[in-house]
Structure 1
Amino acid sequence: MSNFPRFAIVIACFLLFQCNQFSKSEEASTVQRETIENQDPIRLNNEFLIQGASFSPDNTNIYLFKAEDDSFALVDSTIINNTKFQFKGLAETPSLYRISEIRNKNKGFPLLVDASEIHVFLNKRIDYSTASSTSTVQKEYLDYTSQMTDFKDKGMSLYYGLKGNFSSENINKLKQDRLALFTEQNNFIETYIKKHSNSYVAVLLVKENVSTYNAKTLRTLYNGLSQNIQDLDFSKSIDSLIVEKESKIGERLPVVTAKKNEENFKEEYRPKAYKISGINPYGETVSLKSIPKGKVILVDFWASWCGPCRATNPNLVALHKKYKSQGFEILSVSEDKAEAQWLNAIATDGLTWDYHVIDKNKSIAFRYGVESIPFKLLIDKNGNIASEKISGRALETRIQQLLKE
């Protein structure tokens, strides 16, 4: 059995902060640099200043990560002194950052940083952290994230609304409600981009949704941005991504295949895959984000005590060996209670892929509406759910189709 990856990844929480009043920009577009009436030297020099506070002990390390391409990179660190910490840097254009007490680029309090002074209170509970700034960009980002938080709350209320009644009827209704909420959220994002065409936040949202929308929608959204925004270097890089997507043969609307039988599928819109995060055999946190982007992922819900699950494992081993080099990966989610039995089954069945998590309280299974195991679903290269409850010959056929997309 190969070594498992040693990751410690936790999904970052939504950004919740307050913004104060702001003044006019000295340029037609406010996204590159803002000034204030007293000619703040920080803004005039395209600098940012993060003034932080925390109740953590003195000499606690604080790390600053900056978004670069599809990941975050460590750019600075400091320590807490008398409950305070500080970061300085250049910000010719707004950029996404994360601040954390843990040296982990995937965990931290997110900020959209531009040339301004930003005040941050960093809490060990990331969702309790706050920030404020006089920046227009910060205010726009606050407006967007607060509304996205509403969608998150609606999603949670769907789960709580079941009140422990996990009947087939309720689970099916939950799936329909989640899909409707997903569609509503996507419509909100599109509308927000169109209404804020002269905002850096709008182009940032286009980039974040390159994998979600089809090429036609992306082109419409991008072309609707103001010329000031399109002229930014950051925007031009996004235009290149859209051009690349437009050039792909057979590029089409995202769909999901819901199984009616082993050989017959019905096309529907593909929803984004829901969060999967759990503990691997090393005791470390592993999530979907642990798997490199652009992979076709089979999520297999199983357990060591499940006879039908164990019976399908040889087929999974063969599929992984056959298609791994083409971009296929497996994430196994075990419903075992006893870790020893889980680990023994992995070794005995030769499940040599690197991504295994244990779901003792079935929180992941609940999120995906899993009523019984084995349960398999496929996630496409864009992170969308492409097929559910699929097995046998249909599974391999679908893997081949998704790898060709």
Structure 2
Amino acid sequence: MGLYQLRVDGNVAQNQEPKVIPMTLVPEDNLTLELDFNDFNRSVVYKGTEWAEPLNGYMNEMKKFIDWQMSIVNPQEYKQEELMKMVMKKKDPMDRYIIKEIRKDADNPAHILLMTNLMPMMGYDNYDPKNIEVLKILHAAYEKSYPGHPMTVNIGSQVAQLEQGLKDYKDFKEKNIAPEIALPNPEGKEMTLSSLKGKYVLIDFWASWCGPCRVENPNVVRLYNKYKGDKFEIFSVSLDKDKDKWIKAIKADGLIWDYHVSDLLGWQTTMVEKYQFSGIPHTVLIDPDGKIIAEKLRGPSLERKLQELFGK
């Protein structure tokens, strides 16, 4: 049991999408597909399996949504917020269909595919927390019908990450609390932001390839040497992908503090969504309780803030 794709390879014309059909196969399935070869991805009708009916319904709703997306010729004409509201409104019938199907027949294999629509599209700004409760129903049903199956374990992991991500988002947006950071250092040892509770911490998002970051680093080093001690620490998070370049930059710029971490995913790191930033260097200053007291401090503004806190 799992999620599969039927692909038809061959010469694909320029700007033409690959011919791919999703399927949630189960052992002993006897599957029939009906489709128009020229509209391969959106004309499919599944027959002969327990997951055929819900997946057909999903594909119909998806086709309506994609047709609407394709009807927007110049999306740049709309403001981002306006466009997002339109997307959420047009996506709503598909979401309601999925939720109805999951509640009706929670362990149906089709939901491996359907559940992807209940994940956040672009962060948590427009996300409905009720989706998490539906996904929990799905996971509980899979645990009963497919105990220990890799897909069941994966769904459980996704739901847990989603729940934690939403909590971090709410803490960040509503309570101004810095989300936890737990990432490996250059030696592979996990380091956590929470281990520094009780100190003022400057979280510094940077990368070896970031020119403005490297220019700012001497100022950060100077201030660290001035204020380091029991009350102040720096926690550097790199958006590098190349480990060697990251390590060399730490040494070259004399970043002598202990806390250097990275998942080496570049801009794909979850830290971007957690801390809601779009450019580096980006700094976040937190108090001993983990509450954010300032952001985007650099140069003189960073020095003034530290002088204000520590009086020297």
TM-score strictly above 0.5: no
TM-score by length of 2: 0.43
- Which has the greater radius of gyration? 2
Structure with greater helix percent: 2
